[in-house]
């Protein structure tokens, strides 16, 4: 039989046994034929027609528990049988659409069709044994819709062989092993045949892909650039990732590595994330064009990957440089989901570089003039049902509504309101005379400093610029007599930002952070963390497991024992978070929020402590939020600390390079995981930003008290006191 006749019967035939499963004894490709246009749908019997199937209710793919029943195993094979049928029809279309393609390519397609027919026959026979008939449940037309518009043989091998059939390597192996676990050896044997022959199908595609593709590109680069919407490399992976099968299919080592850590949404519009750690400084300037110093620029490059802990695997992170494969592989092995990366060295991102037609939301670290400008280019793809994200691009909305929320003056004003509204909690709230004061000129600043030292209970007072993060733009003064540098700093901040916040320097014993998010009228409380700062008040680390183990017993009781109407301090903290959220909604704000608080010693309080419940309000993502997300991958009950270690401290500790440091640390403190399907970390050290490109900061997850002790002893780098 001629190849074209064979293909026509398979593509247009309406009978499964006599048409779709036709098995000619000999196939030839001698005749010249005209290319055809793809039909709207392939020929099918009535009970398998796509348009008829749309009238039926869809049935979800059976889960691992359901698969223990014969009927659901039959349904699984029904899904697989339809995939085989679609593959045969699409391959038949290739033969009819590209009659002038190389004969060896066309004969290879024909051989593949014959093997797909065998697979389908095996599936149908086994389905009958499991009392399931083909057409009993709906079939989908996704493959057909994706591939019927192919314009060249390259499109076919890219989309079918290297995408759908490559994924089937994973699926057939996964379900083969699953069938073995439930002792369905007959189905497992069928899937083993499919698995081994699917590798051959992919190999045929890879061979021709390498002949058709641009030789100036790597196999991976050519594959990514050849894919067309709605496909992405994510579709080339199944439930597991079978490296051995892919190597046997001829895929390059680099291709396999890149695909193993690649992620992209398969349908849900992705959320876009962007790390801009200088957002407070950008907000202070009030317009686009702020240029951060070299240290902050290094932080931006070092830590942009931290957004992956907030994002999900269906989301996109904008970055100047994608993290290395080795770094991403280690995170994936620890159970962290990996998002998609969109990189551009100059942050000149373009919406057309995102394969998805729509995006769900836009999420910078913090909204600022700079991040608004970067995110605005993606607004054309945004679904548009988030009022705040529509408003943020309107003239003056940011300046009038959002910028004031970043100011420490806002937190100071709300603190005064809390003091009045929660009068019954005055035993643990700051005394009224110690509440933050706002100075708008130099004289008011001097008067506020004098008021604090008149109390004769504080050795220092703290001056805070309204805009500044992580302990930056703060100054401690020790008396009312200011030196020239202090005077210059005060006048500069007043000139640049218009005000200063002045408060006592309290005897802090614990820093706490509470995270929540506002979504329209709903507030979601996410949880609290305890963080560590250095002597200057700058962020160093977050304790994310067993948060109070190292605190004195009296302080632990203060945190966890009942206080007034609340079961513990954290319950009061939650109420304050809801209070802050309520006030933020007046500015129409939506998004993530972090509240920083601290507990300080005070013998006057009957508890021995007080809490500055609203030290700062951060209407953005925070390191506390990142730490909270990282904590989800740590075994319950484990002690863990997430530290930001300066590269200068690492080199100052005697290590010759970052590579020398990370190699020694990873060898000395390897990650030990649970054996869950999605593992949890029990012990060890994991670097959470890419060490291969770190210039200023190496964020480091340390799990286990002994690990922390031994790490400190080995490196002489102190993270906690």
> What is the structure's pLDDT at 416?
95
C-alpha radius of gyration, the chain, whole number: 31
Question: Which residues, including other chains, have CB under 8 Å from residue 473's CB and lie 6 or more apart?
Answer: 280, 464, 465, 467, 493
How far apart are the C-alpha atoms of 364 and 318, rounded to whole Å? Answer: 9
Q: What is the DSSP letter of 401?
A: I
> What is the structure's pLDDT at 471?
58
Strand 539-545, strand 500-504: pairing: unpaired
SS3 state of residue 508: strand
Q: What share of the chain is helix, strand, coil (3-state, %, to 5)?
A: 50, 15, 35
How far apart are the C-alpha atoms of 698 and 719, rounded to whole Å? Answer: 13
Strand 271-274, strand 361-364: pairing: parallel
For the chain, the residue count is 721
> What is the structure's pLDDT at 55?
53
Minimal CA–CA distance to 236: which of 272, 209, 274, 215? 209
> What is the structure's pLDDT at 534?
80
> What is the structure's pLDDT at 470?
59
How far CA 372 is from CA of 160, 254, 369, 397, 554, in Å, comes to 40, 36, 5, 11, 46
SS3 state of residue 630: helix
How far apart are the C-alpha atoms of 551 and 509, rounded to whole Å? Answer: 8
Task: Provide the whole-model pTM.
Answer: 0.86
- Which stretches of the chain score pLDDT less than 70? 51-57, 384, 469-471, 721
Q: What is the DSSP letter of 109?
A: H
| Residue 493, CA atoms < 13 Å, CB-side half-sphere | 26
Residue 78, both tokens: 């029904």
> What is the structure's pLDDT at 140?
83
> What is the structure's pLDDT at 70?
94
Tens-digit pLDDT profile for residues 323-367: 999 999 999 999 999 999 998 877 778 887 787 788 999 999 999
Exposed e or buried b per residue across 289-323, where buried means at least 16 C-beta atoms within 10 angstroms of its C-beta: ebebeeebbbbbbbbbbbbbbbbebbbbbbbeebb
């Amino acid at each position: 039989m001629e190849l074209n006749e064979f293909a026509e019967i398979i593509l247009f035939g309406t009978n499964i046994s006599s048409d779709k499963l036709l098995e000619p004894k000999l196939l030839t490709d001698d005749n010249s034929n005209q290319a055809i246009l793809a039909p709207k749908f392939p020929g099918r019997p009535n009970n398998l027609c796509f348009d008829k199937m749309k009238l039926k209710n869809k049935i979800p793919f059976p889960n691992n528990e359901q698969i223990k029943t014969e009927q659901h195993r039959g349904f699984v094979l029904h899904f697989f049988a339809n995939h085989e049928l679609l593959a045969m029809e699409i391959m038949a279309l290739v033969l009819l659409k590209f009659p002038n393609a190389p004969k060896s390519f066309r004969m290879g397609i024909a051989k593949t069709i014959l093997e797909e027919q065998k697979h389908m026959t095996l599936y149908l026979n086994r389905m009958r044994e499991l009392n399931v008939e083909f057409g009993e449940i709906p079939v989908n037309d996704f493959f057909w819709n994706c591939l019927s518009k192919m314009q060249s043989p390259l499109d076919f091998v890219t989309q079918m062989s290297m995408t759908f059939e490559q994924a089937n390597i994973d699926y057939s192996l996964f379900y083969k092993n699953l069938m073995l676990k439930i002792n369905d050896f007959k189905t497992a044997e069928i899937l083993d045949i499919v698995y081994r022959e699917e590798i051959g199908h992919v190999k045929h595609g890879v061979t021709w892909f390498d002949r058709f593709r641009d030789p100036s590109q790597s196999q991976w680069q050519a594959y990514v650039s050849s894919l067309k919407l709605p496909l992405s490399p994510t579709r080339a992976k199944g439930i597991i990732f079978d490296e051995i099968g892919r190597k046997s299919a001829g895929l390059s080592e680099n291709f396999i590595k890149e695909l193993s850590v690649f992620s992209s949404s398969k349908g849900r519009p992705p959320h876009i994330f962007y790390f801009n750690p200088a957002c407070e400084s950008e907000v202070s300037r009030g317009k686009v064009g702020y240029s951060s110093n070299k240290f902050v620029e290094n932080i931006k490059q070092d830590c942009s990957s931290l957004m992956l802990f907030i994002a999900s695997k269906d989301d996109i992170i904008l970055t100047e440089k994608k993290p290395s494969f080795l770094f991403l592989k280690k995170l994936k092995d620890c159970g962290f989901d990996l998002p998609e990366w969109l990189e551009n060295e100059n942050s000149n991102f373009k919406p057309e570089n995102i394969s998805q037609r729509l995006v769900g939301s836009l999420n910078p670290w913090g909204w600022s003039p700079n991040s608004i400008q970067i995110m605005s280019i993606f607004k054309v793809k945004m679904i548009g049902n988030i009022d705040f994200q529509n408003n943020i691009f309107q003239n003056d909305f940011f300046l009038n509504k959002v910028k004031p929320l970043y100011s420490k003056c806002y937190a100071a004003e709300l603190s005064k309101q809390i003091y009045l509204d929660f009068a019954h909690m005055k035993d643990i709230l700051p005394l009224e005379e110690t509440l933050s004061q706002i100075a708008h000129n130099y004289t008011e600043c001097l008067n506020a400093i004098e008021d604090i030292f008149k109390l004769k209970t504080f050795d220092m007072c703290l001056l805070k610029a309204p805009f500044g993060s992580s302990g930056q733009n703060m100054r401690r003064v020790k008396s009312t007599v200011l030196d020239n540098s202090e005077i210059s700093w005060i006048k500069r901040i007043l000139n640049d930002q218009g005000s200063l916040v002045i408060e006592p320097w309290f005897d802090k014993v614990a820093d706490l952070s509470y995270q929540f998010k506002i979504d329209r009228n709903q507030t979601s409380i996410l949880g609290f963390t305890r963080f560590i700062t250095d002597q200057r008040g700058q962020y160093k680390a977050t304790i994310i497991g067993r948060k109070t183990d190292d605190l004195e017993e009296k302080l632990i009781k203060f945190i966890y024992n009942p206080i007034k109407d609340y079961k513990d301090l954290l319950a009061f903290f939650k109420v304050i978070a809801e209070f802050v959220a309520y006030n933020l909604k007046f500015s129409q704000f939506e998004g993530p929020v972090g509240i920083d608080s601290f507990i300080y010693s005070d013998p006057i309080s009957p508890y021995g402590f007080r809490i500055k419940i609203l030290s700062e309000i951060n209407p953005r993502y925070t390191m506390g939020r990142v730490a909270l997300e990282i904590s989800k991958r740590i075994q319950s009950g484990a002690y863990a600390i997430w530290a930001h270690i300066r590269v200068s401290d690492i080199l100052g500790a005697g290590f010759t390079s970052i590579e020398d440091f990370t190699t020694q640390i990873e060898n000395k403190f390897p990650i030990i995981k649970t054996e869950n399907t999605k593992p949890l970390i029990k012990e060890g050290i994991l670097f959470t930003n890419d060490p291969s490109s770190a210039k200023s900061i190496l964020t480091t997850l340390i799990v286990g008290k002994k690990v922390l002790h031994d790490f400190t002893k080995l490196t002489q780098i102190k993270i906690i006191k």
